[in-house]
A and B are shown apart, each in its own frame.
Chain A
C-alpha cells in the first residue's frame, strides 16, 4: 500500500517533471522562433525542403515500383507463354487414356516446367485438372493451391484457351510461411496452368531503394537546413552586431561604432550606422555642453545676486523699521518690500540647492536616526502655521523606535515641505502623519483632506514651479521648488517619494526610505492610497465586477 502510494507519487512527480521540461523546451523553441531570424529561416527551410523531398521521394518510389513490377509482369507472361507451349506439346503426344497416365503426364509437365525455374527458385508451377476425382492437379515444391486467388481461377476457367491473366497475391507454403507474389495463369484445353512468382527479390530491391531514398532525403534536408543556417549566419551576424552597437549606443556609450568590412550592403549599413552615431554623439555633446553652461549660469547668477540682495535687504530692513514715520502709502511699500525680499531670499536659496543637485554636488551626511524623532521635530516647526490655518496635525507613530540611516537635515526638509504643503492645501481640515516600518524600510505618509489632486497631477506635483492652480498668484505659497527638492532628496537616499490624490478626497504623500543606506528599496511598509479610500472603493469594485458578469 505504502509502496504503491510512493510509486504513484514518484510517477506523478516524474510526469510533472517531464511536462515541465517539455513546456520549457516548447517555450525555448517559441522564444528562439520569435527572437532569432536564423532559427526561423532554418526551420522554414527544413520544413519546406522536407515536404518537397517527401513528395519527390513518394513519386520516385512509385515510379520505380511500377517500372520494376511491369518488367516482372512482362517476364512472367513470357514465361507462362513458353510454359504453355511446352505443356501443350507434351499433352498432344501423351497417351491420356486413363487417370494414371494423365497423372504421369501432368506430373512430368510440372516437373519439367519447375526444372526450368532454376536453382534460385524463380517461380512455382501449378497445373489444375478438374476432371480427376480425388485430386485437383499438381503443384511444384511446397506452394499451396490457396496461393492462386479465387478471382483469377474463375477468370481463367471461364476464359478462352491460351489467354493469359495476371494478378498479385500472397504465396503460402506448407510450412506456414508466405510472401507476396505475382500469379499468372492460362487455360490449356481442359487444364489450367499457373505460374507463381515470388516477389521477395523485388521487395528486397524496393526496400533497398526506399532506404537509400530515405537516407538521401534526410541527408538532403539536413544539408539544406545547414546551408540555410550558414547563409543566414552571414547576414544575421552583422545585423546582430549592429543591434548590439545600437543597444550600447542607447545605453549611453556614444563612442560605440560598427566594424566596416568590404563594400556590400551590410558594409553600407555599418557605414550609415556609424555616420548616424557620429551625428548623434555630436548633437548630444553639444546639448550636454549647453545644459552645463546653463547650469553654471544659474548657479553663478544665484551667487552673484546674493551680495546685492544682502545689501538691499539691510536697506529694506532700515526702511521697514522706520515705516512708522512714513506716510501710509510709503509704509505699505516698505512692508511689501520686506515680505517679497524674504520670499526672494527663499527662492534664491532653493535655486542654489537645485543647482547643486544639477551639478551633482549634493552629498549625504548619513547617521542612524529615530524617524519618529524627525517627525516630531518637523511637526513642531509647522504647528504654528497649522494653527493659523485652523488645521490639526494628528500623528500616528509606532510604539518602538524606528531607526534608519538617513541625512537628518534633508529628511527634515522633506517632512517640512510635505507638512507645509499639506497645511496650505488642507482647507483647515485634519492632517494625519503616519509612520510605518518593516525589516528593510521605513515610510512616512502625510495625508490631508483638501481639494485633492486631479488624475495625472500626482507626478506633475514634483515638477519645478508647477502649481495646482495656475490662476493662483505666485505671491502666495512657497517657492514652487519645494517638492522638486524633496524628490531629489528622497532619490539621493535611494528612496521613493510618491503622491496620491483624488478630487474632493484630499491627497497623500508617502516617503519611503531604506533602513540601511545604499540598499535597494523593494517595497513600502505603508500603502500609497489611504486605507479608508481603499475600503470604500472595494465594494463598488465588487459590484461593478458582478454587473459585468
Chain B
C-alpha cells in the first residue's frame, strides 16, 4: 500500500518535472555569444513623402525642403524630393548644405496666372561644403524658388534649382555622421584627422563612402596643409564588405604601388570609427594582402595602436604654478614644488619635458627655460606698443608658437627648437586681435580665439610651409556658431577642443566640448565659480583655473577621471600639460 503511494508520488513528481523552466541552479557567467555585432546607436530617419494634390506653392516649397533633408534612394539622390520639381532629373545636389538656425515664415509673391515665387529666409549657422567640410558662418541667407503650375494644375518648382540643401541643425544631426578621415602629417609618421560630414544613405553605403573619401584625399581646406596620403593616384574601391566584425576592403590594381603599411594604417584608423569594424582584411584586385608587421592577412585595431594621433593615451604629468609663483608638479594628492625656483606665468611644457616656455606677469615677454637646469635659452619681447603675448604653445617638433596681440591686430611668432625666434610671415589673422593659440599635437593645425565682429570666436587654421619655404598659419575657419564668446581653449583630443566660453543668453563662462568637425558642441559640467583657463591632454584629466566670486585667489581644479567630480587645489594657478 505504502509503496503504491510512493510510486504515484514519484510519477506525479516526474511528470511535473518534465515541463517548465528551471527555478534554481548554478550561477554561470555568460556572454551573449560572439555572433551579435555591436550595432550603431539607434538612428532615426525622416520618411519623405511626395507632394499632395492641389498643394499651395508655400506647402510645395516647405515639403520640398523637408523631403530634401532625407538622403533617400540607392545613392542618396533624394528621390522623393525630386517629385516636387518640374524637371526631376535636372537637379544634382551634393552634400553641400546651408545649416540654418531659424527659418522665417516663407515669403510669397504671385507672378500672374500659373506662376509664383516663394522666398525662404532665415539665419544660418554655417555651411557644409561639397566635400563634407563644415565652416561656421553665422549670417542671414535667402533662397528663392520660382514655381509654375503644370498641366494637371499642380504647382512645381521650376528654378532656380538649389545648389545647397537647406537643413536645420536637427536635420544635420539626423542625416549626417561626422567621421574623421586620417592622413599623415607632412614630415612625421603622425596621423592627422580630417573630419567630414557623410550622409547616412544606407547601412552599407556609409563605410564605402568613407573609404572612397579617404582614398579621394583630404578636404580642400586641409589639402594645402601638405598632409600625405599613402594611396597612389587612381586607386579605387572595388568592394567593401563588413561581416562578423571584419571589414574586407578590396582596392583596385593601382594600390600595389602604394605603401601597404601606411595604407593599412589610414584605412584601419578611419574604419575603426565604425563600431561594427573590429578587424580588417586588405585586398588588392581581389587577392588578400599580407602587410608587413601584421601576422596573417587580418589586421586588428591593436596592430596600429602605436599611430594613435592622441599619443599613447596614458595620463600625462601635470604642471601648475603654486602660491609663491614657482612651477610645481600636480600630483594626485596636491601640488609638489619639486622643481627649481622658476617664476613662470602661463607655462607651456615641451613634449619631451625638457623645456618650459612662460610669460612674465605683464605678458610682454616670452622666456624659454631648461626645465632641469633652469638656464634661460631665449627671450622674446613684444615688438609693438601695448603688445601682449598669448600663452605659448609647443608642437611635437619642439617649436614654440606664440601670438603677439594688440587691440587692433596680431602677429605670430615661432621659436624654432626653443632657441631661435622669428615672426611668421603668412599669418592670416594679422588684422584681428587674438586671445589664445594652441597648436595641435601633430603640428598641422592651430586653434585660436580670434576677435571678429566684436565676438571672440573659436577658429581653426592650418600650419604649413609657405611656397617661400617659411612656416605659415592660414586658412582660419570658424568651427562653431553656437558659442557667443570664448575665453580659453585646449586640444582635448586630436579632433576635439575643450573651450571656456559663453553661449547666447548666458554671460557666465562655462565649459564646452567643441568638435573641430563642426558637429554640435556639448556643454560640460564645470567646477563652479568663474573659470578663466583650461588645459587638456588626451587621456589625462581636464584642468581648469577657477575663481570663486568675491575671492581673488585662483584655484586649479582637476576633473576626476572616474566621476564627473572636480577637485580643486587652493592657491594654485596656470595648469599645464605638455604641449
Contact = CB atoms under 8 A, between A and B. Distances in A.
A109 to B, nearest CB: 9
A407 B43 CA distance: 114
B244 interface: no
A126 B60 CA distance: 24
A174 interface: yes
A110 interface: yes
A51 interface: no
Interface string B85-115: 0000000000000000001000000000000
Contacts of A117: 42
B70 A135 contact: yes
A145 B81 CA distance: 16
B125 to A, nearest CB: 14
B47 A142 contact: no
Contacts of A139: 44-45, 47
Contacts of A110: 44
Interface in A103-146: 103-104, 107, 110-111, 114-115, 117, 119-121, 126, 128, 132-142, 145
Interface in B41-97: 41-49, 51-52, 55, 59-60, 62-67, 70, 81, 84
B409 interface: no
A138 B62 contact: no
A548 interface: no
A86 B43 CA distance: 18
B47 A135 contact: yes
B203 A175 contact: yes
Given A136-B49, A142-B203, A111 B65 contact: no
Nearest to A173: B203
A140 B40 CA distance: 12
B5 interface: no
Interface string B5-40: 000000000000000000000000000100010110
Contacts of A103: 46, 66, 168, 170
B42 A134 contact: no
B43 A133 contact: no
A173 to B, nearest CB: 7
Given A107-B170, A134-B62, A175 B204 contact: yes
Contacts of B70: 135
B202 interface: yes
B67 A134 contact: yes
A155 to B, nearest CB: 19
Nearest to B70: A135
Contacts of A138: 44-47
A104 B81 CA distance: 20
A30 B497 CA distance: 88
Contact of B48 (A100, A135, A142): A135
B85 to A, nearest CB: 13
Nearest to B56: A133
Interface string A79-105: 000000000000000000001100110
Main secondary structure of the interface of A (DSSP, over half): mixed
A138 B49 CA distance: 11
A110 B44 CA distance: 7
Interface string B299-320: 0000000000000000000000
Contact of A142 (B62, B81, B202): B202
A429 to B, nearest CB: 99
A140 B41 CA distance: 10
Contacts of B203: 142, 173-175
Contacts of A128: 47
A204 to B, nearest CB: 11
Nearest to A103: B170
Contacts of A132: 66
Contact of A111 (B44, B46, B48, B168): B44
B174 interface: yes
Contacts of A173: 203
A133 B46 contact: no
B44 A140 contact: yes
Nearest to A177: B203
A121 B203 CA distance: 14
A120 B33 CA distance: 12
A101 to B, nearest CB: 9
Contacts of B42: 111, 114-115, 117, 140-141
A414 to B, nearest CB: 88
Contacts of B62: 99, 133-134
A99 B66 CA distance: 9
Nearest to A133: B63
Given A119-B36, A139-B47, A173-B203, A107 B174 contact: yes
Interface string A147-184: 00000000000000000000000000111000000000
Nearest to B52: A133
Interface in A35-59: none
A134 B36 contact: no
Contacts of A174: 201-203
Given A133-B63, A134-B66, A174-B202, A100 B170 contact: yes
A134 B170 contact: no
A209 to B, nearest CB: 15
A139 B46 CA distance: 6
Given A119-B36, A142-B202, A133 B66 contact: yes
Contacts of B174: 107
B47 A133 contact: no
A145 B44 contact: no
Contact of B43 (A134, A137, A141): A141
Nearest to A121: B39
B253 to A, nearest CB: 28
Contact of A100 (B38, B103, B202): B103
A121 B37 CA distance: 10
A104 B169 CA distance: 10
Nearest to A114: B42
B169 to A, nearest CB: 9
A133 B59 contact: yes
A141 to B, nearest CB: 5
Choose among A133, A139, A145 the residue with the greatest number of B CB atoms under 10 Å from its CB. Answer: A133
B105 to A, nearest CB: 9
Contacts of B81: 134
Given A104-B170, A174-B202, A140 B66 contact: no
B55 A145 contact: no
Nearest to A104: B170
A139 B202 CA distance: 13
B48 A136 contact: yes
Choose among A107, A128, A137, A145 the residue with the greatest number of B CB atoms under 10 Å from its CB. Answer: A107
B157 to A, nearest CB: 12
A9 to B, nearest CB: 44
A354 to B, nearest CB: 83
Contacts of B103: 100
Interface string B182-211: 000000000000000000011110000000
26 contacts: A99-B62, A100-B170, A103-B170, A107-B174, A111-B44, A132-B66, A133-B52, A133-B55, A133-B63, A133-B66, A134-B81, A135-B47, A135-B66, A136-B48, A137-B47, A138-B46, A139-B45, A141-B42, A141-B45, A142-B43, A142-B45, A142-B202, A145-B47, A174-B201, A175-B203, A175-B204
Given A99-B62, A120-B36, 20 more contacts: A99-B66, A103-B168, A107-B174, A111-B42, A111-B44, A117-B42, A120-B32, A133-B59, A134-B62, A134-B64, A134-B67, A134-B84, A135-B48, A135-B66, A142-B43, A142-B45, A142-B203, A173-B203, A174-B202, A175-B204
Closest 4 CB pairs of A and B: A134-B66, A134-B63, A114-B42, A133-B63
